[in-house]
């Protein structure tokens, strides 16, 4: 048994959640993956996973071992990438987490040029509206919007974005253009909501920031649906500028009451602190930071 290969397989097993998924990724059969994990367990003298017909359950010992094993694999890859030609040609998988709409509109379009520059680096892009545990879920990087509260992460600022009140010209032609905060009470608002909890709109009135609770016929917890609803003329919504940037620039969407616009919201790239950053991750960080600044995303 090559212990390092077995450790790599175990790390991916924790992150993928199934033997078959790891087998497909590595180009080997599921039994071969299971055999290597079993040999690793015998070597360690500990049960790392419970195997059932439906799922793989990581044991407490397995979770503890995973955290050290992930660091070991990352450190080994970093050493490899710093030697010889690999210093100029990083390789391997970078796992990134971002919000669905931001990933589709602002990250995926940038990957073609990145792959041209670094053909041996692969990207695994996961999407979630929630803030995930990077270490626990085996993710290298995440894009976070707003004020950061997790001090265990290293952060690099990518950009800032405006939050704007936006509506289509068709909707405004039919319902009128609001010119002051109280006018919103008579308009259809497209509301971002999780369950029954509506997210208030943050608006600047003079020197004060006020929270306005929007009311409307459509509520959704998905930014893509808010984008579609604005474009379909269903009402007014407060959105990050990047969500409708092309449409705002072209006049397909109109920004309202700019005097009420709140302070800009930062967007950061975050990754676990206190770890050596592998070359493949480092070049992607540098690429994103430079590209976001150049394009003002």
Residue 209, domain extent:
163-260
CATH number at 65 reads: 1.10.10.10
**Among 211, 166, 162, 161, CA closest to 190:** 166
Question: 143 and 279 in one domain?
Answer: yes
More confident: 215 or 79? 215
CATH number at 292 reads: 3.40.190.10
Q: Binning pLDDT at 50, 70 and 90, where does residue 4 land? A: confident
Give the pLDDT score at 164: 96
Q: Does residue 158 lie in a domain region? A: no
Position 24 pLDDT exceeds 70: yes
Question: 256 and 173 in one domain?
Answer: yes
Q: Could you give the residue ranges of the DSSP H alpha helices within 82-137? A: 100-102, 111-117
The per-residue pLDDT for range 257-279, each reduced to its tens digit, is: 999 999 899 999 998 876 678 88
- End position of a domain, from candidates 65, 81, 97: 81
- End position of a domain, from candidates 28, 51, 81: 81
Rounded Cα distance between 230 and 243, Å, is 11
The per-residue pLDDT for range 168-194, each reduced to its tens digit, is: 999 999 999 999 999 999 999 999 988
Give the pLDDT score at 67: 84
Position 135 pLDDT exceeds 70: yes
**Count of Cβ atoms closer than 10 Å to residue 248 Cβ:** 18
Cβ atoms of 201 and 211 within 8 Å: the answer is yes
What is the average pLDDT across 142-165?
Answer: 86
Instruction: Work out whether the CA dihedral 41, 34, 135, 93 comes out positive or negative.
Output: positive
> How many domains does the chain fold into?
3
What are the beta bridge partners of residue 265?
A: 161
3-state secondary structure of 206: coil
Question: 132 and 90 in one domain?
Answer: yes
Give the pLDDT score at 137: 82
Q: Does residue 157 lie in a domain region? A: no
Q: Does residue 281 lie in a domain region? A: yes
The per-residue pLDDT for range 230-250, each reduced to its tens digit, is: 999 999 999 999 999 999 999
Q: Does residue 266 lie in a domain region? A: no
**Among 216, 232, 248, 249, CA closest to 170:** 232
What is the average pLDDT across 206-210?
Answer: 89
Give the pLDDT score at 85: 46
Mean pLDDT of the chain: 88
Position 200 pLDDT exceeds 70: yes
Q: Does residue 265 lie in a domain region? A: no
């Amino acid at each position: 048994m090559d212990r390092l290969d077995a450790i790599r397989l175990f790390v991916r097993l924790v992150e993928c959640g199934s033997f078959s998924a790891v087998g497909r990724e590595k180009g080997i059969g599921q039994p071969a993956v299971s055999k290597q994990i079993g040999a690793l367990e015998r070597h360690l003298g500990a049960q790392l996973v419970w195997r059932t017909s439906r799922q793989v359950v990581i044991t407490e010992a397995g979770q503890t071992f995973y955290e050290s094993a992930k660091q070991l694999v990352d450190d080994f890859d970093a050493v490899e990438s710093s030697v010889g030609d690999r210093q100029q040609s990083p390789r391997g998988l970078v796992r990134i987490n971002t919000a669905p709409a931001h990933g589709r509109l602002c990250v995926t379009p940038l990957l073609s040029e990145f792959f041209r520059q670094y053909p041996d680096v692969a990207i695994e892009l996961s999407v979630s509206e929630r803030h995930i545990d990077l270490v626990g879920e085996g993710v290298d990087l995440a894009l976070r919007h707003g004020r950061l509260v997790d001090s265990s992460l290293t952060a690099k600022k990518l950009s800032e974005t405006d939050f704007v009140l936006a509506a289509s010209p068709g909707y405004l032609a039919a319902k009128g253009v609001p010119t002051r905060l109280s006018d919103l009470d008579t308009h259809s608002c497209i509301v971002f909501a999780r369950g029954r909890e509506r997210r208030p709109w943050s608006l600047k009135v003079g020197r004060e920031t006020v929270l306005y609770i929007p009311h409307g016929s459509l509520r959704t917890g998905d930014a893509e649906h808010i984008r579609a609803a604005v474009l379909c003329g269903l009402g007014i919504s407060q959105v990050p500028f990047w969500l409708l940037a092309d449409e705002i620039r072209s006049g397909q969407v109109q920004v309202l009451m700019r005097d009420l616009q709140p302070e800009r919201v930062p967007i950061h790239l975050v990754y676990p602190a206190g770890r050596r950053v592998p070359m493949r991750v480092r070049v992607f960080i540098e690429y994103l930071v430079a590209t976001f600044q150049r394009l003002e995303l």
